[in-house]
Structure 1
Amino acid sequence: MSTTDLPAPDHSPRLRDALLAADFTADGLLELLGAPAYTALARSETVPALRATRGDSPLETLVRLFLLQRTVPEERARAALPLDEALADGWVVRDAEAVRNGPGEAHTPLGTPSETAEDTAGIRAAVDVRPYSGPEGQDWFIVSDLGCAVGGAAGARGHDAGVVLGVGGASTTLAGLTVRTPVASALDLGTGSGIQALHAAQHATRVTATDLNPRALGFTRLTLALSGAPAAELREGSLYEPVAEETYDLIVSNPPFVISPGARLTYRDGGMGGDDLCRTLVQQAGERLNEGGFAHFLANWQHVDGEEWQERLRSWVPRDCDAWIVQREVQDVTQYAELWLRDSGDHRTDPERQDGPEGPEQYAALYEAWLDEFEARKTRAVGFGWITLRKSGAAQQSIVVEEWPHPVEQPLGETVRAHFERQDYLRTHDDAALLADHFVLAPEVMQEQVGLPGAEDPEHVVLRQNRGMRRATKVDAVGAGFAGVCDGTLSAGRILDAIAQLMGEDPVLLRDRTPQAIRLLVEEGFLEPAAAPL
């Protein structure tokens, strides 16, 4: 595959108008297909959507053409698209394969067209065009290669190393994590089909998108054009090489983070040993960030015998940056190898295939290669998660590394921004300043009492967030009482004095032992300074 076979964006505004006129949008698809077929399509299961698009409306035609990648009759394609321009620009092509076209075909079961139907040449899509809803309800379109939707059972099977995938769970996770404050410049490193550049274009004056794969840059150009977004600066190259002399206010990257033996697929295999690619991206980010700028990465990292994974990641953080690193999942090396062998379509379940390049022996050899690689690196498991840096230049660096496999509420960009604001607050307030300050309980925090039914007092009290990270923390009677009266009226010290009087405790001792607990409640977002809510 090369960039020469990609569509031209010359008439993308007219194509976009036609797609919107047919309601070929995320909302339009949900209404047409219904929730079960819509979610099945997200899993790359097409049968329910095929059954739901038996009619001849423009929307049904577009779904079959671009999402289900079926050949459609030319007259139906012409009713849904500016067909001559779409053909000339290369969005669709004429297909010599016959399609069934006749009265009643749309109303008969799949595979049993009307007896009066006739075979005609048709139109098929040259690229995958997927409706995608922006954070403020924008109607966008992600353009990528055909036949390799993320999450499909066969993955990238049958495609060469330069294949470009569309939007998937990792893409949307990163988009939701990113801090969306207005910035002058943003860098999408390893842009793929361009979803991160598309998001960044909404709040960055200048967007630069880079990729080692020139084909990915072509798809990013198409995604931005078809979505009606400003064009980005497109640069070819590896890691930070294309922007070696530049700095940015925002860096985002969903890199080829898979730890694999070799670099077979450009979109996922970084071509460096172990987790070196992710380490390099993080370590060099500080040089490319402006003061106060954020960098967001999805990453994999090794769990190595004799080494704490938290310390491994701490060593990656640039000296002039704060970091928040969240491990979302851990897989042992066998689970990890099987996941990515399925992704590339290298798994085989057909018992009749006993030999040849696609047989069980080949699969076993590939599996062995993955396990050999992990054994050589003393890797027992692989972690996946988020790495966020902020260039603070602070003398006292803040690095938070935690494991959080629990459900969260996306988008998390504001939660991420507030985390770093809280770190700034805490490192500039010692215990005396903390006790002199005023706090309020964060919105959406609820209190739960846990204990036996009928018991006079609960065994313990839990504070729980219903937004963002959805954290829960156990507090004692003092912590529960303190949080319950934090409305910004009294200082923390005066609240503790009142609690000490009610509980018959020494107020001096209570003031001495409580600041650490208050600090933790602030760090995790349960309490906010009243003077400047975060």
Structure 2
Amino acid sequence: MIPDLSPERIDRLRDAFRAANYDADGVLELLGPSAHAALGRNEPAPALRVAADAGPLGTLVRLFLLGMPEPREEVQAALGELDVDEALDATIVVADGERLRAGLDIRPYGTGEDSWWVVSDLDSELRGGRTLDPDHVLGVGHASLSLVRATSRRPVGSVLDLGTGCGVQALHASTHARSLTVTDLSERALALAGATFRLNGVEAETRGGEWFDPVRGRKFDLIVCNPPFVVGPPRTDFTYRDSGLAGDDASALVVRQAPSFLNEGGRAQLLASWVHKEGEDWQDRVASWLPPGAGLDAWFVQRDVADPDLYVGTWLRDAGYDLNSPAGIAKANEWLDWFAANDVIGVGFGFITLRRTDGPGEVVCEDLRQAFDDPLGPESDEWLRRVDWLRSHGSTEELLSARLRTAESTVLEQVSHHGEEGWETIVNRLHRTDGPGWQHEIDELGTRLLAGFQGAMPTGELIELLAMGYGEDPEELTAAAIPMVRELVRHGMVIPVEWSGEDR
């Protein structure tokens, strides 16, 4: 069923939220840091205690954030000019005996200075543990938040949010784009996303249809996509996660088709999953998805790999299945049988950045499974900038003539053991202390070279001095140093001297 979330009803709902101070700051101020943190851990008792007798704001918190049944008169007082009967007709609330419960998940969502409301369907817990409906519209979850953090926020003209769901990616895009287009196969998702946009005063063109069909013949400056990337048999139990395509074909489809919808220099940033098979390199697999002959820079970042048992259990719980029930066991066995039949030993998960270029592109696949706090979006901007610089210094002569500086965020860790002559260094490891925290092990001559990267002389002269001081052959040392220098530049551990001191 598609809820009747007319613009007039949404406008009155927004007025009620504003009057009650039901926004990210207002909820935090009411609950306080401790109860707010407990709510984030799914521990409702502290928030219930604080929200009791807290007027309309307390009612909205209990109704929408805690899933509690509330008296009709208190709900009406909290909804202001939006009549309860209209809210029932729109399934904003639903009857629960003599009381009312939330029929939709409508909650404040804020990051930094931005504060919005997001409309989605209630999760399994707020539905009393019942399995989700096939057309369930997911709210702001870990996956969508990870894509938010991995997306560049540079100003752009046009953005396509492919498979918008509740619309959270488009909300963030609205802060740095002139125009928004969102698509989704699900009519329910488009209705809830439309309510999200109306609540927040965000203008977005909405189009229904499969994959890129609604925007054939158009091009964009940025495409963001959190596709139904769950890996498994070809089915569509839930539209928010299942594509109807087998294995990782949904992720492959987006990577293959997205470039033809990008303007020159345009980017696509998406979440994706890929299978790991015995004897197959995951890097070769994902790189094969790129359309042949396209001028593309592509950065594939693997953030995690799950074994099949863990993967299946996680997604079944996410959908509200009881894993000990006959239905849960049957569904798990069906899924695991498909993994076994297709030689799947793991499922990788990560981010992909694509950029249209007017010439041969750079394709890099990297494991980035270490923990780090900085968002990956700014790093994707810098990664592409460094790719451009390396491309402009493609020959050995051009790189040797460049003046480089070791970045301030690069530190050297040395591991030593006690030998016959005292402490002897056995490992030299470079760490980048910001961004994704890259690490590289280098030899003793490498540490000497980086110590000399202070921008005073060209790289080639530094290598010649190093070879002279250590009795090494200059040509052999140059041949060994060039790949290392390129990799350190690519990871932002060594930077061109002209970038030093920039506020980036």
- TM-score, normalized by length of structure 1? 0.85
Look up the match of 1:109.
none
* Aligned CA distance change for structure 1 residues 455 and 324 (closer, same or farther; 3 Å): farther
Equivalent of residue 442 in structure 1, options 387, 407, 427: 407
**3-state SS of paired residue (1:407):** coil
Equivalent of residue 366 in structure 2, options 385, 394, 402: 402
Deviations along 1:246-305, one digit per CA (max 9) or x if unpaired, are 111111111111123321111111111111111111111111111111111211111234
User: Structure 2 matches for 1:353-392, cutoff 5 A?
Assistant: 360-392=325-357
* Aligned CA distance change for structure 1 residues 433 and 61 (closer, same or farther; 3 Å): same
Equivalent of residue 449 in structure 2, options 460, 470, 482: 482
Equivalent of residue 246 in structure 1, options 218, 243, 246: 218
1:131 lines up with 2:108 in the alignment: yes
User: Structure 1 residue 425: deviation in Å?
Assistant: 2.0
* Aligned CA distance change for structure 1 residues 76 and 455 (closer, same or farther; 3 Å): farther
**3-state SS of paired residue (2:237):** coil
**3-state SS of paired residue (2:116):** strand
Contact 1:148–1:165 under 8 Å retained in 2: no
User: Structure 1 residue 191: deviation in Å?
Assistant: 0.5
* Aligned CA distance change for structure 1 residues 84 and 340 (closer, same or farther; 3 Å): closer
- In 2, the alpha carbon distance for the partners of 1:411 and 1:153 equals 34
- In 1, the alpha carbon distance for the partners of 2:348 and 2:265 equals 28
User: Structure 2 matches for 1:134-173, cutoff 5 A?
Assistant: 134=111, 136-148=112-124, 154=129, 157-173=130-146
Look up the match of 2:172.
199
Look up the match of 1:345.
320
- In 1, the alpha carbon distance for the partners of 2:383 and 2:140 equals 27
- In 2, the alpha carbon distance for the partners of 1:305 and 1:497 equals 45
Letter in 1 for 2:249: D
Can you give the 5+ residue segments of structure 1 that lack an aligned partner in the other structure?
A: 99-121, 350-359
Equivalent of residue 310 in structure 2, options 335, 340, 344: 335
User: Structure 1 residue 492: deviation in Å?
Assistant: 1.5
User: Structure 2 matches for 1:246-285, cutoff 5 A?
Assistant: 246-261=218-233, 262-285=235-258
User: Structure 1 residue 216: deviation in Å?
Assistant: 0.4
Letter in 2 for 1:143: V
Look up the match of 2:261.
288
User: Structure 2 matches for 1:300-339, cutoff 5 A?
Assistant: 300-318=273-291, 319-339=294-314
- In 2, the alpha carbon distance for the partners of 1:417 and 1:455 equals 45
Equivalent of residue 486 in structure 2, options 514, 519, 524: 519
Deviations along 1:204-244, one digit per CA (max 9) or x if unpaired, are 11111111101101111111121232x21111111111111
User: Structure 1 residue 36: deviation in Å?
Assistant: 5.0
Equivalent of residue 272 in structure 2, options 287, 291, 299: 299
* Aligned CA distance change for structure 1 residues 207 and 86 (closer, same or farther; 3 Å): farther
User: Structure 1 residue 386: deviation in Å?
Assistant: 1.2
**3-state SS of paired residue (2:457):** strand
Look up the match of 1:462.
429
Greater alpha carbon shift after TM alignment, 521-530 vs 188-197 = 521-530
- In 2, the alpha carbon distance for the partners of 1:494 and 1:371 equals 58
Look up the match of 1:8.
6
- In 2, the alpha carbon distance for the partners of 1:256 and 1:515 equals 41
Letter in 2 for 1:213: S
- In 2, the alpha carbon distance for the partners of 1:338 and 1:44 equals 20
* Aligned CA distance change for structure 1 residues 94 and 132 (closer, same or farther; 3 Å): closer
User: Structure 1 residue 487: deviation in Å?
Assistant: 3.1
**3-state SS of paired residue (2:260):** helix
- In 2, the alpha carbon distance for the partners of 1:28 and 1:526 equals 42
Contact 2:301–2:365 under 8 Å retained in 1: yes
- In 2, the alpha carbon distance for the partners of 1:94 and 1:378 equals 46
User: Structure 1 residue 348: deviation in Å?
Assistant: 3.8
- In 2, the alpha carbon distance for the partners of 1:524 and 1:194 equals 32
Letter in 1 for 2:391: R
**3-state SS of paired residue (1:513):** helix
- In 2, the alpha carbon distance for the partners of 1:502 and 1:513 equals 16
* Aligned CA distance change for structure 1 residues 50 and 489 (closer, same or farther; 3 Å): same
* Aligned CA distance change for structure 1 residues 235 and 443 (closer, same or farther; 3 Å): farther
Contact 2:407–2:495 under 8 Å retained in 1: yes
- In 2, the alpha carbon distance for the partners of 1:489 and 1:75 equals 75
Deviations along 1:103-122, one digit per CA (max 9) or x if unpaired, are xxxxxxxxxxxxxxxxxxx5
Work out the percentage of aligned pairs sharing the same amino acid: 40
User: Structure 1 residue 312: deviation in Å?
Assistant: 1.0
**3-state SS of paired residue (2:64):** helix
**3-state SS of paired residue (1:217):** helix
- In 2, the alpha carbon distance for the partners of 1:440 and 1:17 equals 55
- In 2, the alpha carbon distance for the partners of 1:179 and 1:376 equals 39
**3-state SS of paired residue (2:334):** helix
Deviations along 1:25-48, one digit per CA (max 9) or x if unpaired, are 334434433445434433444344
Greater alpha carbon shift after TM alignment, 55-64 vs 212-221 = 55-64
- In 2, the alpha carbon distance for the partners of 1:498 and 1:87 equals 82
Greater alpha carbon shift after TM alignment, 198-207 vs 169-178 = 198-207
Look up the match of 1:234.
206
* Aligned CA distance change for structure 1 residues 25 and 441 (closer, same or farther; 3 Å): farther
- In 2, the alpha carbon distance for the partners of 1:528 and 1:129 equals 46
User: Structure 1 residue 140: deviation in Å?
Assistant: 0.8
Contact 1:153–1:345 under 8 Å retained in 2: no
Equivalent of residue 412 in structure 1, options 376, 400, 415: 376
Letter in 1 for 2:331: L
Can you give the 5+ residue segments of structure 2 that lack an aligned partner in the other structure?
A: none
User: Structure 1 residue 13: deviation in Å?
Assistant: 4.7
**3-state SS of paired residue (1:489):** coil
User: Structure 1 residue 78: deviation in Å?
Assistant: 4.8
Look up the match of 2:61.
63
* Aligned CA distance change for structure 1 residues 365 and 72 (closer, same or farther; 3 Å): closer
Contact 1:44–1:149 under 8 Å retained in 2: no
Contact 2:124–2:320 under 8 Å retained in 1: no
CA-atom RMSD, angstroms? 2.6
Contact 2:236–2:244 under 8 Å retained in 1: yes
Greater alpha carbon shift after TM alignment, 512-521 vs 483-492 = 483-492
**3-state SS of paired residue (1:65):** helix
- In 2, the alpha carbon distance for the partners of 1:513 and 1:153 equals 62
**3-state SS of paired residue (1:84):** coil
